[in-house]
């Protein structure tokens, strides 16, 4: 007979209270510790549920298993049997360190490949988006050019259609206004500005300022070199020290030559 609440299991062929069993019947008692059996009987019996209520049967089985686990935990704690891992417990790995290093490298490689694939996907999307924006801008420019051409054609048609004394050339007026604006001449920003006496005096003394129109460039007269004679100008520097080979001092004659020169001079006298 099994006793889930105790720590031992007693098994007999006959009832437990029989002291003198009859001949021919075997009577024995075996005692096992609960740690060798690990059997737990649920408090509630298992019920049979018909097929349409299969979900209720599975729910009841899961609840019964949880109750059995809680009951087994109470029995283990009462029997003082250790069943949890100690805090400082160290277990040797079944795989070698080299094998684990290979596994780690493989995992890292897969992560890097996933990152590279994601980055490439984002770059493709960015290129598509940039290309789309570029095409849209080009289309806008082309549309603007087309609209400007249409406006100019309309102005030309209006100009040819309206031939009266108040007709104005729109294009010429537009370009003239632009030239006057940047040139600063008559009709420009500096047209109505008068020059003061102080400014005139400084212009006479230091120049008018602005572009000099090439006043310091050489002309035909300044670049004329017909009167320049290089050999004539070079001759006046002859005989000076360092002016060339002709300006060097003659070397002193040797001793024998000096004696011959003295003897010639004496014979002439």
Q: What pLDDT is stored for residue 1 in this prediction?
A: 39
Q: What pLDDT is stored for residue 173 in this prediction?
A: 57
Confidence of residue 13 (pLDDT cuts 50, 70, 90): very low
Domain membership of residue 229 (yes or no) is: no
More confident residue, 122 or 170: 122
16-71 tens-digit pLDDT: 444 454 455 555 566 778 888 888 887 766 656 555 677 888 888 888 889 888 98
115-149 tens-digit pLDDT: 999 999 988 888 888 888 888 888 888 888 888 88
Distances (CA, A) of 13 to 1, 16, 30, 31, 135: 10, 9, 11, 14, 96
E-assigned strands of the chain?
8-11, 30-33
Q: Supply the pTM of this predicted model.
A: 0.26
Q: What is the DSSP letter of 9?
A: E
Q: What pLDDT is stored for residue 210 in this prediction?
A: 64
Residue entry with tokens 């290093």:
101
Domain membership of residue 249 (yes or no) is: no
Domain membership of residue 49 (yes or no) is: yes
Q: Which residue range(s) make up the domain with 130?
A: 112-161+168-176
Domain membership of residue 67 (yes or no) is: yes
Which of 62, 78, 94 is where one domain is finished?
A: 78
């Amino acid at each position: 007979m099994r006793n889930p609440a105790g720590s031992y299991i007693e098994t007999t062929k006959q009832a437990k209270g029989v002291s003198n069993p009859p001949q021919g019947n075997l009577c024995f008692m075996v005692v096992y510790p609960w740690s060798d059996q690990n059997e737990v009987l649920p408090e509630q019996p298992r019920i049979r549920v018909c097929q349409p209520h299969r979900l209720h049967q599975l729910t009841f089985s899961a609840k019964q298993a949880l109750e059995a686990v809680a009951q087994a935990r109470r029995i283990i704690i009462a029997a003082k049997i250790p069943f949890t891992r100690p805090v400082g417990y160290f277990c040797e790995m079944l795989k070698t360190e080299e094998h684990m290093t290979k596994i780690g490298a493989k995992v890292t490689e897969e992560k890097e490949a996933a990152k590279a694939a994601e980055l490439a996907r984002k770059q493709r999307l960015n290129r598509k988006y940039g290309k789309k924006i570029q095409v849209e801008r080009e289309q806008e420019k082309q549309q603007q050019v087309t609209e400007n051409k249409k406006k100019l054609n309309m102005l030309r048609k209006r100009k040819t259609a309206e031939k009266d004394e108040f007709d104005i050339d729109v294009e010429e007026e537009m370009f003239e206004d632009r030239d006057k604006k940047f040139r600063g001449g008559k009709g420009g920003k500096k047209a109505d500005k008068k020059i003061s006496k102080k400014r005139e005096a400084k212009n006479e003394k230091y120049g008018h300022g602005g572009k000099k129109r090439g006043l310091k460039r050489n002309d035909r007269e300044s670049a004329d070199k017909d009167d320049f004679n290089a050999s004539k100008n070079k001759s006046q520097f002859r005989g000076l020290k360092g002016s060339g080979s002709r300006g060097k001092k003659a070397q002193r004659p040797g001793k024998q030559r000096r004696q011959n020169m003295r003897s010639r001079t004496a014979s002439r006298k």
